[in-house]
Chains A and B, each alone.
Chain A
Amino acid sequence: MQRILIIEDNPMVVRSLEFKLKKEGYEVVVAEEGRQAMKLLLEETFDLILTDLMLPFVTGTQIIEHIKKTYPNIPVIVLSTSTQEDIITDAFKMGVDDFITKPFSPSELSLRVKRTLAKQ
């Protein structure tokens, strides 16, 4: 079973993603803030990371930098409310595999997750 790490602080979004992705057959682990995500990354292995950019303690950008430096093979999808072009291009420059803006369509997100995992 493929494992997905969700890094998101909005409980509603977390539960929806968890529900939807578990239904699709993935194993889902949730980190509600950056430090917890860093700890989980040290202890466990993941096939994909789905992260928000605005997070408490450690920002999404810092997490992405860390992941791309330490675990370059894990694909990262950003899920953010930001629609600013510079933020999106900066994220892609850091090496993220996809960028989804909120509000998001759960079906579309599920397809993008599937496609990103298939590329690996």
Chain B
Amino acid sequence: MLIALLELDEWPFILKVNLLLSIFFLILTLLFVGLVLYLRIQKNFKEAHRKKQETKFIDFANTFLFDDSINKSKELANFKFTNIKSSYDYKILIKQVLIFDENLKGESTALIKEIFYGLGLYRFLLKDLNRKEWFNKARALFAFSKLGIAVPDQLIMPLLQSKRVELKQHGILYFLNTSKTDPLVFLDNLEGRLTLWQQVLIENSLKSFEVEIPDFARWLNHKEDSIVVFCIKMILSFNQFQNIPFLIDCLDHTSENVRHQAIQVLQAMEVPEALQLMVAHFPEETAANKRSILYAISKIGTYKDLQTLVPFIHKEEENLQIDFYKISGLFGDEIPVKKLLNIETITKDWEDFQEYSINSSIGA
């Protein structure tokens, strides 16, 4: 019967196709299962190797850190020779060095760095920094910045121009963590927008700085608006009152965002000298900046300053009119604030008010 079954020539065509496909899919399934098993076994081996390496390293590092009786350089060389065979081994050790550095301080910090250099991890990471793949570069940058280990600036500067946000971010972190004298030097070479997240990151790092906070006026002429905006904010955060004249100059900046930030900071720093320029710019300003100027007047100006702006708030700028009424209210009973109450007639009321305001200022 088996022989009869194997006489394929006598089989109908459809059965032949069926058999062929069955064999094909059986082989495919076997290959797939084999591949899954192979990957699983390989992963298990890798995992076991990682655990073994970690244990070996922790024991070695503890002996190195706490046992003064050993010959440290000999132990380092010995460990390197016997235990580091592949780039995977290097990666395992780098991670462990970072964990040690994160948990220990004091006399151990210098010894951890000694291990880092002695095992050739510095050289390995330098190679990573020169590799094509962005994740290798990012990993190297992360390790250098965490350990506070400086590498030649020319290797890092190009990364600040990277299109990968992660690389740029790690580049910024690297400078913040490693530079002892000029931690914001990277701003000179930074291209592209400084995101709000990056601004927060820098500001937080600055708060824990042990070195002198840099003078932010240095970057007020930067070609990237977001950097100028950030520096204006920092002038306020770090009370750099000596930079007020430069902030006033920012009111003439070509970027709307820079002018906006300058108005807000000058208001917060309570600089009445800036008011004259703000009022002069009011007619040409954008709606958002006009609004900021109105609020600046509420803090550092007078009702008279406010009144001079009335002709430049147009009847279609209803939001500004509301803001104007609100701010006028802050100056007491000098104007009829009740007009604000009827939103239906606000435009007509505004025209009346403009007339009233101009007449009263002529009268005054």
How far is it, in angstroms, between the C-alpha of A42 and the C-alpha of B102 when the chains are bound?
33
B352: CB under 8 A from chain A?
Answer: no
Q: Which of A9-17, A69-77, A84-92 is found at the contact surface with chain B?
A: A9-17
- In chain B, residues 104-125, which have Cβ atoms closer than 8 Å to a Cβ of chain A? 104-108
A15 and B66 contact, CB distance less than 8 A: no
B362: CB under 8 A from chain A?
Answer: no
Residue in A12, A105, A107 whose CB lies within 8 Å of B58: A12
What is the number of contacts between chain A and chain B, taking CB atoms within 8 Å?
A: 52
A107 and B106 contact, CB distance less than 8 A: yes
How far is it, in angstroms, between the C-alpha of A15 and the C-alpha of B57 when the chains are bound?
11
B154: CB under 8 A from chain A?
Answer: no
How far is it, in angstroms, between the C-alpha of A16 and the C-alpha of B105 when the chains are bound?
12
How far is it, in angstroms, between the C-alpha of A103 and the C-alpha of B65 when the chains are bound?
15
A104 and B58 contact, CB distance less than 8 A: no
A3: CB under 8 A from chain B?
Answer: no
Place the interface of chain A in its size category: 10 to 19
- Number of B positions contacting A (CB below 8 A): 19
B353: CB under 8 A from chain A?
Answer: no
Nearest chain A CB to B98 CB, angstrom units: 10
A16 and B106 contact, CB distance less than 8 A: no
Q: Which residues of A contact B3 (CB under 8 A)?
A: none
Q: Which residues of A contact B103 (CB under 8 A)?
A: 10, 12-13, 16, 102-104
How far is it, in angstroms, between the C-alpha of A108 and the C-alpha of B109 when the chains are bound?
14
Q: Which residues of B contact A11 (CB under 8 A)?
A: 54, 58
How far is it, in angstroms, between the C-alpha of A12 and the C-alpha of B93 when the chains are bound?
12
A16 and B104 contact, CB distance less than 8 A: yes
How far is it, in angstroms, between the C-alpha of A19 and the C-alpha of B67 when the chains are bound?
9
How far is it, in angstroms, between the C-alpha of A32 and the C-alpha of B108 when the chains are bound?
24
Beyond the given pairs A105-B108, A107-B107, 14 more chain A to chain B contacts, judged by CB atoms under 8 angstroms and listed by A's residue number, are: A12-B58, A12-B99, A12-B100, A15-B59, A15-B62, A16-B66, A16-B103, A20-B62, A102-B102, A103-B103, A103-B105, A104-B105, A104-B106, A106-B106
A-B contacts, 5 of them at CB < 8 A, read A12-B100, A16-B62, A16-B65, A104-B103, A108-B106
